[in-house]
Amino acid sequence: MEKLTVIIPTLNEAHNIGSLLEQIDFADEIIVIDSYSSDDTVAIAKKFKTTIIQRKFDNFSNQKNVAIDTAKNSWIFLIDADERVPEKLKEEVLGIINSDTKIDGFWIYRTNFFMGRKLRFSGIQKDKVLRLFRKESCRYNGKLVHEEIETKGKTVFLKNRFEHYSFRNSTLYKNKLDKYARLQSVEYDKKIKHVTPYHLIIKPAFRFFKHYIMGLGILDGYPGLKYAYYQMHTVYLRYAYVKQLKKTNSLQSS
């Protein structure tokens, strides 16, 4: 019988980690890769049968790859602390790793919840992540944010979905988006020469239009409106931070 390693990246996830760890008692090994949380994340994780690795954050790919290299088992199931594993998804995962499948990676769709409501539209109807894979065939690569996993073998989709609860309250969500925008600005600083009104006005406006109109976020009511607004604001912040970086670099070189 094949064994399964679950990997959970964390940073200040005390409000999430306990509930998730209670759900994944089916794992043979659980690795929590923590970026030196300042809350009770690690203390809570220690109450469960987990291996805890604390590592200074440099980028998401490296964090995950360190945990993958540490894993004792061939099958890896990577789960974010704000995701939940419904019973049917659990059964499907266990069925796959104990089969004779030749597939190396499995995409999983996510059902997203925002402000206490399930988002049925908002442009994220087909939100998906590759999270169940063979250690020997897959590796995270590139990007500070929205890192990508590369696989040498064939991938397919699972039938069942994660439940994703990314929103706890407005302050924490805005802090999270601000962090992502700052990280992304480092990459975009290398891609663009000048920040213009196109980046600060047109691109954020289009992002709102993409989620709220094209993605039918209008049908998700007020949560759909807020979700589109937050996505718009993140794009604006990204380029505002790029502009700030370019100004700082210019002053340093003068």
For residues 192 and 246, the answer to whether their CB atoms sit within 8 Å is no
The DSSP annotation for 106-168 comes to EEEEEEEEETTEE-S-TT-TT-EEEEEEETTTEEEES-SSS-EEEESS-EEE-SS-EEEE--S
CA distance 159 to 29: 24
Name residue 227's amino acid.
Answer: Y
Output the CA–CA distances (angstroms, integers) from residue 21 to 6, 34, 86, 168, 216, in the order listed.
Answer: 10, 14, 13, 18, 34
At 2, list the tokens.
């094949």
Can you list the domains of the chain with their CATH numbers? 4-165 (3.90.550.10), 170-253 (no CATH)
Tokens 């590759």 found at = 130
At 251, list the tokens.
């002053």
Output the CA–CA distances (angstroms, integers) from residue 121 to 80, 89, 204, 220, in the order listed.
Answer: 22, 22, 19, 6
For residues 6 and 33, the answer to whether their CB atoms sit within 8 Å is no
Nearest to 71 by CA among 133, 145, 157, 155: 133
For residues 107 and 96, the answer to whether their CB atoms sit within 8 Å is no
Provide the 10 A C-beta neighbour count for residue 148.
Answer: 11
Mean pLDDT by 10 residues, the chain (254 residues): 94 96 96 98 98 95 96 98 98 96 96 96 96 94 77 94 95 93 93 96 98 98 98 98 91 74
CA distance 192 to 203: 14
pLDDT of residue 63: 95
SS3 242: helix
pLDDT of residue 26: 95
CA quadruple 161, 104, 69, 30: dihedral positive or negative?
positive
